[in-house]
Amino acid sequence: MGAANWIEGGFEVSKKCNMIMNVILCVLFAGVLTALGGSNPYRGLWVGQAKLNFVNEVSIPLDEDNVPIAPDPNVPTPTSDQAQIRVILHVNGAGQVNLLKDVAILKRSDEGETNQLFSSEADFSLVTDERLYEDFPVQEAKRIASAVFDFGDIKATEAVDAIVLKISSAVAKSIVDTVDETTAENAAIAAANDVVPNADVAETFDAFLKDKLPKNDVTALAEANGVGIDALRPEAQILVDQSFYNDTRTIDVLDSLATAIADATPPAEKTAAAQNAVARFADVNNLFERFVHGLVFGDMIREVALAAATQAAVSGSTHAVIDSQSRVAPAYIQAAIDALNAKVSAYTDTASSNALESVVSGIVDSAYLASTSGVVVVNALAAQLESDGFSVLAELQQGMVSVDIPSTDYSEFVRSQDFSDAVSIAAAAAAKAAVAETNFDPFYTEFSLEGQARIAATLALKSVYSEAGRARQTELPLDGSFAAGSGDARFLSLISSTDAPLGGAGLTGTIILPANHPTNPFRHRRHPDHTIGFNIERRLRFDFDGASTNALERTGLGVERITGVYREEFFGLHKSLGPEPSTSPIGLKVEGSFELNRISLIDTLNAR
């Protein structure tokens, strides 16, 4: 099925939109695909579907002798029908993959005729956060969505869980020692008070950079060839361990810094490499990626390509003349200004300026070479130089750091007054419930007290849990590799006892839908017993067919396809299966084949 068939309306679909999309799919890709071939070969937006026609059995049938024969819950078996689900994946320039709920394809500029043909994907953005729509011109646009995937930021709910767990444990221990409600409440507050400040991992990481890796110290580490980095690791690990969030960026930035210093061969380049390495972690607003994939940068490539081609057509043009004429293009001047604004001020951040210089120099070099090779046709050369510019840009993105930073919603939640007050509210409720348990059950234990304290604390924080459940996350990062042959694309039901067991996965990810999430299927706002549900966990797995089965094939002009096996295991919708459900639970498992079409090579999300 063609990629255009996957487009559906979140916005009004019109002939104009169809024209724009057809240009993307049929004209633009023919040139840009080749231009970007030097980067990750799978980068871009992939849309398709998974056909689920295998599921594990949860009922226990009887044989002819009425003896229960339990099926193997680990092996999904064929179904009489199939369910089709839409899948949207995005691969960035570094090969990192995100599962998307929806994505809008927005035109960056409203200049010119409304029915103009767009020549480059630099004219468009892939936007997953609807809060950014207002940054774009008013337009009729395309939106691709999947109704079967919904995920909030589970970390916000886990922050409240961390408070409840510490409070219930402290209350139980205190009540066992002395049955006093006030003492237990104070003990609980003391035990949980560190959760609130340590939950703000954005602030913690920022403080680590300021205290341990300021600009001058980074320079000193570079000049010492990395000696001194290991001395920072113990404190970096403490920051990882002190919070339930398990934010590893303090370790990751040290690893990246050490690698950058080691890889910079000339000593003079070590300082610049070190500064840029740390700056990328400090770039929490994604300034660099938004700059190099933004509208101005794309316009700059086109204008510089045309200026260079025009000058190259002039007989006797030198390299210096072509270079100077290219840099008077208005878009280049604007890009040079924007490059200064796309820097992390705390460091000597030259990444944006370096990217601009590399792309322009590449275009100028190609233009000069063409001018010495014979007659120059301006339009043809300009098109080639534009392609060369995007090719250089694609090469620059390889290995680019993509920082896994806390979401905006999460940071706002853990800094809210409701979250700060949660400790005292939960402590009071837990202590009161534990004392009541001692009066009700003379044979109480620390375990039974902790259970009652946890229930009471959870109920007392019902509104706080609801607020946490509304924290949004627009992309779900997946672990592994998006590539032909990645993983084991065999159906479990077809693996015999003599075959090798199922191998490692291609891509994996976990969706946790909190009990208080607005779309939790157990919730029903009109039913008093359904005001809170159960946490639902979905473990996703993608395994890709190998090259021998045409895993990545051209299905149309500029459209490519990759296939494989999709697997998912659900917990929370049904009691756990298996012989040991309490220690080795098995969830509801489904399997089926998937097919994804690449419909865009844009490798950065939400770039303006």
Distance CA 63, CA 250 (A): 58
Q: Looking at per-residue confidence, does 538 or 118 come out higher?
A: 538
Instruction: Retrieve residue 187's tokens.
Output: 């003990």
* Cβ-contact 263, 273 below 8 angstroms: yes
Rama region for 467: left / alpha / beta (φ>0; ψ in -120 to 50; rest): alpha
- What are the residues whose beta carbons fall under 8 Å from the beta carbon of 480, sequence distance 6 or more? 97, 486, 487, 505, 506, 507, 508, 542
Which phi and psi angles does 586 have, rounded to 5°?
-120, 130
Residue 507's pLDDT band (boundaries 50, 70, 90)? very high
- What are the residues whose beta carbons fall under 8 Å from the beta carbon of 111, sequence distance 6 or more? none
Among 118-127, 180-189, 323-332, 445-454, where is mean pLDDT lowest? Answer: 118-127
What is the rounded average pLDDT for all residues in the chain? Answer: 84
Instruction: Retrieve residue 480's tokens.
Output: 């592994």
Instruction: Name the 3-class secondary structure at 359.
Output: helix
Q: What angle, 0 to 180 degrees and rounded to 10, lies between the N-to-C axes of helices 154-177 and 417-440? A: 40
Q: In the prediction, which pLDDT does 529 show?
A: 65
The pTM score is 0.77
Rama region for 558: left / alpha / beta (φ>0; ψ in -120 to 50; rest): left
Q: Which of 162, 159, 194 is nearest to 454 (CA)?
A: 162
Beta-strand ranges (E) seen in 394-474 are: none
Most distant CA atoms of the chain, gap in Å = 101
Beta-carbon count within 10 A of 478 CB: 23
* Cβ-contact 594, 542 below 8 angstroms: yes
Which phi and psi angles does 512 have, rounded to 5°?
-115, 115
Residue 17's pLDDT band (boundaries 50, 70, 90)? very low
Helices (H), 492-551: none
* Cβ-contact 433, 179 below 8 angstroms: no
Beta-carbon count within 10 A of 466 CB: 18
Instruction: Name the 3-class secondary structure at 193.
Output: coil
The tens digit of pLDDT for each residue in 346-401 reads: 999 999 999 999 999 999 999 999 999 888 899 999 999 998 888 888 777 655 55
Q: Which of 590, 592, 586 is nearest to 72 (CA)?
A: 586
pLDDT of 26 higher than 50: no
* Cβ-contact 360, 333 below 8 angstroms: no
Beta-strand ranges (E) seen in 43-170 are: 44-55, 77-91, 97-100, 102-107, 124-127, 142-145
Instruction: Name the 3-class secondary structure at 569.
Output: strand
Percent over 70 (pLDDT), the chain: 86
Distance CA 525, CA 460 (A): 18
Residue type, 430: A
Distance CA 394, CA 397 (A): 5
pLDDT of 527 higher than 80: no
pLDDT of 411 higher than 60: yes
